[in-house]
Amino acid sequence: MTPAAYGSAPVLLVGGGRMGQALLKGWLNAPDIGPVFVVEPNPAAGLAALIDGQRVRLIDGPDKLPQGLAGLTGLSVIIAIKPQMFDQVLPAYKNLALAGTLILSIAAGRTLSDLGRLLGNAAGFVRAMPNTPAEVGRGITALVAGEDLAADARRRAELLMQAVGEIAWVSREDDINTVTAISGSGPAYVFLLVEALTKAGMAQGLSPDQAAQFARATIIGAGRLLEHATDSPKSLREAVTSPGGTTAAALGVLMATPHGLEEMIDQAVTAALARARALAG
Ligand SMILES: NC(=O)c1ccc[n+]([C@@H]2O[C@H](COP(=O)([O-])OP(=O)(O)OC[C@H]3O[C@@H](n4cnc5c(N)ncnc54)[C@H](OP(=O)(O)O)[C@@H]3O)[C@@H](O)[C@H]2O)c1
């Protein structure tokens, strides 16, 4: 391939698992991104379906990278392997980590200094924390960079992650751990709420199917309402809470102090944050 054939925003995706595929799908809808080269030793059917041999090409390993990729203007390398593979896999990509290249890692708990240790300090490094709604283009990703990231690399990092939802830069690297505890793990908290509502409905005599239907539609509908409303969540809650009514009766339990939902969420986030910090070493 000649450098011109790489297009204006070539991307190398290392790891085509669940999150790698979510990113890839988003990039395919973003005309400014690509071509994309994917390194993935065991491509699953979902990934294979996205490989067209033109805009998205599968590469067997770092020793099979297309000629001329290293040092290519505008190259972005996205690291989407499991954190525990980091030290083993990354050194093979050191030849790509040149000035002008963006290296963006989504690996939980792997720091900017880990990237520098394994890849040298010439490239621009960004650490990002997306969440699973990225799979449907509705994720939110926190980004953090070293102080010296070039404006062009910063913009490329934004484009790559905006392809799967909202983005927000955080200024301190430790904020990535907090974001992990809020939005990274957060979808699981919401799914648990659906499960709990379903079980409560069943306990009161609804069929499992109906209980699940009402619980699921309630969370999806409330999310949509929140999305379209200009009011705060507090105002939305108050709007459905008549004094002495059914919602007030339920909220009396959920908002009790101590041991209400707020306290539980605070404890849950604190536990997730402690774990994220521990994993980050
Ligand atoms: N999923 C999330 O919600 C989420 C959110 C934020 C951040 N992340 C981060 O995203 C990263 C990927 O997570 P995931 O959920 O997508 O995990 P995953 O589905 O396991 O994806 C990782 C992929 O990397 C592949 N791989 C293994 N060795 C490789 C190598 N030497 N070169 C290239 N690819 C290799 C794996 O293949 P094999 O399966 O064959 O080993 C797998 O397909 C993790 O670091 C995670 O912390 C995930």
Regarding whether 151 and 36 lie in a shared domain, the answer is yes
Tell me which residue has its CA closest to atom 40 in ligand 1: 42
Residue 176 lies inside a defined structural domain of this protein: no
Domain count, the chain: 2
Asked whether residue 63 falls in the same domain as residue 96, the answer is yes
Instruction: Tell me, yes or no, whether 180 lies in a domain.
Output: no
Task: Tell me which residue has its CA closest to atom 25 in ligand 1.
Answer: 15
Q: Read off the tokens for 255.
A: 């908002």
CA distance 271 to 274: 5
Residue 20 near ligand 1, beta carbon < 6 Å:
yes
Mapped onto helix, strand or coil, the DSSP state of residue 260 is coil
Q: Is ligand 1 within 6 A of the CB of residue 42?
A: yes
194 domain-assigned: yes
93 Cβ neighbours under 8 A, 6+ residues apart: 12, 14, 62, 77, 119
Note the pLDDT of residue 279: 86
Which residue bears the tokens 């979510």? Answer: 22
Q: Is 180 in the pocket of ligand 1 (CB under 6 A)?
A: no
Q: β-strands 139-145, 165-169: how paired?
A: parallel
Q: For atom 9 of ligand 1, which residue has the closest CA? A: 107
Question: Which pair of tokens denotes residue 57?
Answer: 């090409």
Global pTM value? 0.93
Domain assignment of residue 179, yes or no: no
CATH number of the domain bearing residue 225: 1.10.3730.10
For residue 155, the CA-to-ligand 1 centroid distance in Å is: 24
Distance between Cα 20 and ligand 1 center (Å):
7
Length of the chain: 281
**Contact between 129 and 180 (Cβ < 8 Å):** yes
Q: Which domain holds residue 247?
A: 186-279
Are 25 and 50 spatial neighbours (Cβ–Cβ below 8 Å)? yes
pLDDT at 4 over 60: no
Instruction: Note the pLDDT tens digit of each residue in 84-111.
Output: 999 999 999 999 999 999 999 999 999 9
Residue 178 included in any domain: no
Assigned domain for 177 exists: no
For residues 19 and 155, state if they share a domain: yes
Using the 3D structure, point to which of 139, 171, 203 is the last residue of a domain: 171
